[in-house]
Amino acid sequence: MKSEPKTTQLSSWLKTENDTDFTIYNIPFGIAELPDHSIVAVSRIGDKVINLYALQRDGYFDSFNHDLDGLFNSPNLNAFIGIGKKITSGVRSRITQLFEENTDEVSDKEAFSRKYLISAESVKMQLPVKVTDYTDFYSSIEHAGNVGSMFRDPQNPLLPNWRHLPVGYHGRASSIVISGTPIHRPKGQILPAGQDTPVFSATRMFDFELELAFVVGQNTELGSSVPVDKAEDYIFGFLLFNDLSARDIQSWEYVPLGPFLSKNFGSVVSPWIVTLEALEPYRTKGPVQEPEVLDYLKTDGLHNFDINLEVYIKPQESEPSLVAATNFKYMYWNISQQLAHHTVNGCNINIGDLYASGTISGPTPGSYGSLLELTWRGKNKLKVGDTERAFIEDYDTIIMRGYASKEGARVGFGECETTILPAK
């Protein structure tokens, strides 16, 4: 087993707040609409967005033996991600060099800032990738155990297959939206308690699901598989992911094939892709997997990540209230196992695919990643400001945050936010 990774100490000439998610250790990637309405690839440090198209245009990336023309003034990062980690990691390192405290390249820092940096508040972040496909896993043993206890058998909450494979289902790519996009309350069939016939209604049990999603960075051919020990070569980075759910619609429709209308009406992602390289120092051991998994799922080393995660609910006339705090390190099935299992049957993958973790829950009630668990299906209401919540109400705003912190180095995701509007 590898030892816990260390952080390399860095400092930047661009001073930032101590608690910023966007330190020099991060350097994430995104797509932004600038004040002049141009849409370009960007990175971020502190409260400044870095115009990567302008840096490329002015020759700062000329040292790479690759033509980068057209990659940074595209409406998405798919083509950039697709050139491979050798180049994308190099671009990230190059950006870091330009902002290091002792750089010799940026002599006039004020002029450099005026030309290449923009206030984060003045840009409109876009969906960073064209989402080609989307899969949602069910990889938290705490979440699966809670749900199994609620809906099946508290003595045997996990189905027989759960400890043998990463359970998942194919979701809807077209309804994945960027943070800040409002979502209307969905409608569908609901079976009222004690009745045999469903009714058509807007959901009465609107929920969030706290997740992370990884972005695929390589294509594969139909019929090929990604070996578990090579899986991270195919993963570019992570986003926060809010997989919104209609629990009452879900409980009626999901047998025998699984979620459908209860999930496909909207999922919300954060705008910044945090790379695997940025998260390298925060690797950690995952839970012991018992029984032993099949050979194609066996991993060695540190494949979980110590990422703190928080969920806030903000009623329309109140301040946000923290309702859940957990950590990505609790995940039973890691990202390498998820991708290896997804492709072991020959399923091809594409650059821009999103693979969501499933709800991330921890071992204690305050660390559960959904209202379904936090309120135990609505039985125990949560205090939210001066009011209570069993499930999400109209005009509530859901805010998710995530960050890793170690040895004074912080890497975060910013916010994933959405406001729930009444059903149309």
143 catalytic residue (yes or no): yes
Label each residue of the chain as H, E or C.
CCCCCCCCCCCECCCCCCCCCECCCCCCEEEEECCCCCEEEEEEECCEEEEHHHHHHCCCCCCCCCCCCCCCCCCCCHHHHHCCHHHHHHHHHHHHHHHECCCCCCCCHHHHHHHHEEEHHHCEEECCCCCCCEEEECCCHHHHHHHHHHHCCCCCCCCCCCCCCCCEEECCHHHEEECCCCEECCEEEECCCCCCCCEEEECCCEECEEEEEEEECCCCCCCCCCCHHHHHHHEEEEEEEEECEEHHHHHHHCCCCCCCCCCCCCEEECCCEEEHHHHHHHEECCCCCCCCCCHHHCCCCCCEECCEEEEEEECCCCCCEEEEEEEHHHCCCCHHHHHHHHHCCCCCCCCCCEEECCCCCCCCHHHCCEHHHHCCCCCCCEEECCEEECCCCCCCEEEEEEEEEECCEEEEEEEEEEEEECCC
Q: Which of 37, 143, 303, 341 is catalytic?
A: 143
Active-site amino acid positions: 143
